[in-house]
Amino acid sequence: MSNNLTNSPNNPLKTLIAVEEDARHFGFEWPNEEMIIDQAISECDEIRAALKGEESRERLQEEIGDLLHTAISLCIFAGFEPEETLAKITKKFNKRILALKEIANTQGFSTLKHQPIELLMELWQQAKQKSR
């Protein structure tokens, strides 16, 4: 079976989805969600190793790409449209960031640059509660 989808740079997400569908129709597919999650964990371990080691930036990018691919695979396996899922999480993240900015501003912060991670996480938790 020929696959001319790999050279379509206009929309890499749609191309990946099409290649995933082609692979599934050919019979190359995950048997269950747990195996996909295990693969995602493995990809995270490879990213950690690339960050700690003397890996090239290209190698790190490849490992991050593998994680993104695995997440898209899980999304498809679970019966969700990846683009719709990304649109929903983008909306959710934007809502939380707006809440975070509002909370930070009420506490006298015009920016959170150079603030300790503990403060960032505390404000993020508050933003999560506020944006629900």
Q: Which of 80, 103, 124 is the last residue of a domain?
A: 80
How confident is the model at residue 92, as a pLDDT?
97
**Domain identity same for 71 and 113:** no
Smallest CA-to-CA distance from 78 within 14, 29, 11 is with 29
CA dihedral of 19, 21, 22, 27, whole degrees rounded to 10: 130
Range of the domain at 41: 1-80
Tokens of 22: 């082609």
Are both 48 and 108 inside the same structural domain?
Answer: no
Determine contact, residues 104/131, Cβ cutoff 8 Å: no
Q: What is the pLDDT of residue 1?
A: 45
Per-residue model confidence (pLDDT) at position 74: 98
Residues 15, 65 within the same domain: yes
Number of domains within the chain: 2
* pLDDT, tens only, 18-62: 999 999 999 999 999 999 999 999 999 999 999 998 878 999 999
